[in-house]
Structures are given as structure tokens and as C-alpha cells.
Amino acid sequence: MSFKKTLFIVLFLVYFSNTKAQTFELGKVSIAELEEKEHPKDPSAPAVMLFKTCRVYFEDLTTITKVTTKIKIYKKEGYKWANEEILHYLNGETVSFSGAITYNLVDGKIEKTKLKSEGEFEQKINKYYSKKKIAMPNVREGSIIEYEYTVRSGNFGSLRDWYFQYSIPVNFSEYNVKIPYFLTFNKRTKGFIYPKLSSVPTYNRETSEVYKLENIPAINEESFVNNINNYRASISYELALVNIPGSIFKSFSTDWEAVTKTIYDYDDFGGELNKTGYFEEDVNKLISGLNSREEKIDAIFNFVKTSVKWNSFENYYCNDGVRKAYKDKTGNVAEINLMLTAMLRFAGFDANPVLVSTRDNGIALFPSRTAFNYVIAAVETPEGQILLDATEKYSLLNILPLRDLNWFGRLIRKDGTSIDVDLRPKTLSKEIINTSFVINSNGVITGKIRKQLTNQEALSFRQKNIITSKDTYLEDLENKNNGIEISGYVRENDLDLSNPILETYTFKDSKDFESINGKIYIAPLLFLSTKVNPFKQETRAYPVDFGFPIENKYNIMIEIPEGYAVESLPVSMNIATPDNIATYKYVIGSTGNKIQISITSDINTAIVPADYYTVLKEFFQKMIDKQNEKIVLKKV
């Protein structure tokens, strides 16, 4: 056999083998797949995505997105993967499912159960969005489920983001998009795993771009993650240029300046800032007699917070407009905060809107009109910017709700120019706890706690607890603190936002006392100590996001029982991470029958790069170990 003939056969076999291996179709399930008990590379996985593929193409100016999915369920914890929901616009988008089947192995044979009509339904979210949902039938441990859905959209300006990575492993993922010759898209990838790209021109002047990834590990949530979607392997397309010869030529956003200029020129954004007649008389009355800058800003801010209620809809453009929101006393984010900006300008301040991407929307990494979903207000002063969000009734100047604290925003001035705005708080928010308690030899500890919360901590507390009934709150407080008994509870400054939240109560604790061979063992923080390190992964590729700098401080006074003396105390400790990202100071001493402890931990940096993860994990472990070291008392 000639060399050329042999080479041809080898290449043919390789090609045929690869083609066969890369064929991912619905309707083909094997007994071996159904018998598989765990994922070979991740035995802990509750399920695996055997494959997920997407084809995107255009019919006239309609975008067609077809997604096929095949999933193996290993454990009950994986049952949630047998449900799917697709968010879509009510106007101009439709979603349809097909080929939805559950496969099970019954008496050595493959049993198929098709999705029936009652397993498919629509959930309207608001007047803009709806969700198409399916719940797969007859799902059990060992099942394989598969389905296809098709989204038809009249909006070809932004294709749906494609995620290659999930919280379960993915054996194979492919994204295939065919771009017509008259459309140009900007392409962005995110994450720490990069797909392979092949690009091929087609006969009808389309370009077919195919991205593939295999054996993709799960990406899991952990404590202090901003939004896991920021770090999942994914790709996004955004329209940059439409060029239909002899008909349309339109260029879209290419940089942040172009993005913000385009947004500011919208009638339902910049146009709404120019409307003032509806509030002028009210604002004039409001600031009459006020002299200082802070008084006037605060007065206008509080007026908007209390006059117009947020309807929970997030967007940077107005829906019904600022006038109607003012009249109806309700509006979306843009209507409230653009109204606030206009009032501040009317009062003589250099106020401007700041575009924000909320934490659940993801970090605005790349220039895009869809990068933002929110807007707040900023007043520029010689001392710096004052940031305000009037959708949150418990917020203060420069104390924004956590949803806003998403790295950077973009401030737009009247002339359309824009600058970055750092949304990360610089001031420490504090939790200060003063406690004194008496250890009784019968195993009961009685004491008193006074707790103080400031800034972001106070805001978070008010958001979560002010509307909660006292009985429910106290029951939860007792349960989360190891079942202590609480009495004499008093809370101050619920609605006095200028002052810290203050809580005082007495407690009885019988579970944090240990007596062995006549000796008493007790950790000085009792039920307040942290028991488990929030950082569990060996390594982490994405940043640690605390949201804001925070200080936790404990001042503890302990009275030991009569007839006992201190045998040993934990050793005082003072540690810090490199670059002073976090510090921890533990000071303890005793005099007579009293033990005094002072503990201060500071997180000085809101967002910590992944390079510091191991250091931070070790720091937290040392801090937790120290918190749980025991005081030992002996009989005398």
C-alpha cells in the first residue's frame, strides 16, 4: 500500500472518529449512561451536563437561538437540574420547548417519559418580562433528561450570553453562531477557562463561528462572592455595526464615552433630567431657610425617599416618566434617581446621574449599552463625590444599599462626557458588642449584651429586621445563638438613620459551659464565636468580595464563680495579612475573679484579589481557632 493511500486512510479514520465523538444529538441514550453512578472526574457532583449546545442564526432580522441539553442525575440534590426556565421579553420574543424526555433504567430496559402539557407553563414577571418553564417528569436518581428550546427574537442588537460552566461539571459545550455579512458584533469572553474558536465563511456570505469546551469543571459558590456569573466561562455578543449596502449604516457603542453619550441622549434618560416644573415650588419650600450644603442635600434626598416609593423595577431609563412617578408617588429606579438628580441641580448643586450595574446583574467589565441596569445620583463637591440612592428609604449620603456596591459606576455629565466612579465604600462599618456575664458553677451563664451597628451594617439590619415582628425576631435571635434565652430586649434608633442601631438584652446560656473533672472550660465569646471557616476551597480564581470594609469589636467582662480561680487563659494575639487587608487583635487578662477580653477584627479592603485567597483563608482559620480557645477554671 502506498504512503499516500495509507495516510489518506489514517486521516479518514481520525476524521470519522472525531466526527462520531463530537455528534451530540437528542434521543440517543445508552444503558451504560443510565447505569453510571457517579461522575468519573467529580464523584461528589449531584449531576452532570453530558452536553449543552447552542446554534444561533438569523432569518431576515429575527434571531433564532436553539439550545439542546442532556443531563444525567446522580443524586437527589441534582433534581433541580430537571427543571428549566427561560427569561424572555413579552414584546417580540417567544420561547418553545421540544423533545423533552426523561429516561430511566427499569428492569434492565430503557423507559422513556415524555413531558406533558402540565409540565410546561409560563410565569409573567412584570409587564416587560416572562419566564417559560418546564418541570421534567418521572425524575429519580440515575435519570437522564434531555430537551431543546428555541427562542425567536426580533431584537438582534444583543445575542443571549452563553455559559460554558455551571455548578455541576459539563462534559461538552458548544456555541455556534452564524453572522450575516451586514452585522458586526463585539465579542467578549469571561471566566478562567477559554473555549476553542473556529471561524468559517459560508456560501451565503455568513461567517460561522464555533466555540467548544470539553471536560469543564464545576464552578461553585462560596462565601463572599459578588456574583458567580462574573467568573463563569462564558461568551457574549453585542451589536457594533449594521451595514446594509444602499439601505442602513449604523454604528453602535464602541467605548464607554460612546455608550454613556448614547444613553444620555435617550429621551427617557437625559430628556427626563430637563423636566423641573413639576417640583420647583416644592423644592423651593423645602430648602428655604437651610444654609449648609449638607442640610440642603439631605433635605432633598429625604424628601424623594419618603415621597416616591420604588416599584422594585431596575433600569436606567424611565418607564412612565418622572412627572407621573412624582404624581403617583411610585416609580422605577430611573424615575426616582433622575428626579433626585434634577432636584439637586435645581437647588444649585453639581449633580449628575451615575450608571450602575447591580451585583445580581454582574460587573460592567466591557463597554456596552446593556452593561448597566440601574442609575443613582452623585453630587460633585471639592471634597469628593456624594453618592445617593433614593430607592432605599434606610440609606444615607454615601451609604448605598449593597446591590449598588458593584465595583465601578459611570457618571455622565450634562455635556455627555463621563468618568468612572468607585462605588466601594472607604469608611469602616462597625459592629461593636459589649458583654458582661457571670459563670455559675451549676452550668448556667447569665449576662447582658449591648450591640451597636453603624453605616452599612446598620442599613443591612434595618432592611432585614425593622418590619419583622419583635417576637419573630427574638425567636430567630435565640435560635441562631445556640438556643440562648433572651429577656429585657430593647432596640433604639430604628428610624433615626443618623444614629447607630443599638440593641440591649439579657441572656441565659446553658450550652456553652463545659465541666470536666471539676474544671470549667469556656470560650469567652460563647455563642458569638465563629465556628466554621467561610473559605473552604483549596484555591480560588476569583476575588473575595466583602462588600464594604468592616470592623467587629468585642469588649468582654467575665465574672468567675466563687471557689474557682483561673488555671489558664488563651494567649493574646496580634496578626495581620500582607498589605494590611485584614487585622486581628486579641488581648486577654485577669484580676481577682474578673477576666477581661478585647477582640478587634478589621477587614480594610472591600474587594480582595484572588492572589490573597490562601493568605486570607489561613488568617480566618487562625482567628476562628483563637476565638474558640478555652479559658480553664479550677477549684480552689
Please give the average per-residue pLDDT across 403-421, as a whole number: 93
Closest CA to 483 of 475, 495, 491, 494: 475
Here the cell at position 215 is 471536560
| C-alpha cell recorded at residue 107 | 428492569
Share of the chain above pLDDT 90, in %: 79
Contact call for residues 178 and 273 (beta carbons, < 8 A): no
- Whole-angstrom Cα distance, residue 139 to residue 184? 43
Q: List Cα–Cα distances, 185 to 92, 176, 178, 181, 182, in angstroms.
A: 21, 14, 11, 11, 10
Mean pLDDT to the nearest integer, 245-263: 82
| Phi-psi category of residue 205: left, alpha or beta, with phi > 0 → left and psi -120 to 50 → alpha | left
Angstrom distances, CA of residue 607 to CA of 49, 96, 405, 438, 614: 32, 41, 11, 40, 15
Identify the bridge partners of residue 310 per DSSP, sorted by sequence position: 331
Between 324 and 258, the higher pLDDT residue = 324
pLDDT confidence band for 308 (50 / 70 / 90): very high
> What secondary structure letter does DSSP report for 52?
E
The percent of residues in the chain predicted with pLDDT above 70, rounded, is 95
pLDDT at 125: 84
Fold match between domain 24-244 and domain 256-422: no
**In a 10 Å sphere around its CB, with 0-12 CB exposed, 13-18 middle and 19+ buried, how is residue 553 labelled?**
middle
The pLDDT score that the predictor gives to residue 81 is 97
CATH annotation of 24-244: 2.60.40.3140
Rounded distance between C-alpha atoms, residue 616 and residue 26, angstroms: 46
The fold adopted by the segment(s) 429-635 is Jelly Rolls (2.60.120)
**Cell numbers given for 25:** 444529538
CATH class of 256-422: alpha beta
| Domain ranges across the chain | 24-244, 256-422, 429-635
Of 18-32, 313-327, 362-376, 450-464, the range with the lowest mean pLDDT is: 18-32
For residue 203, what pLDDT is reported?
Answer: 62
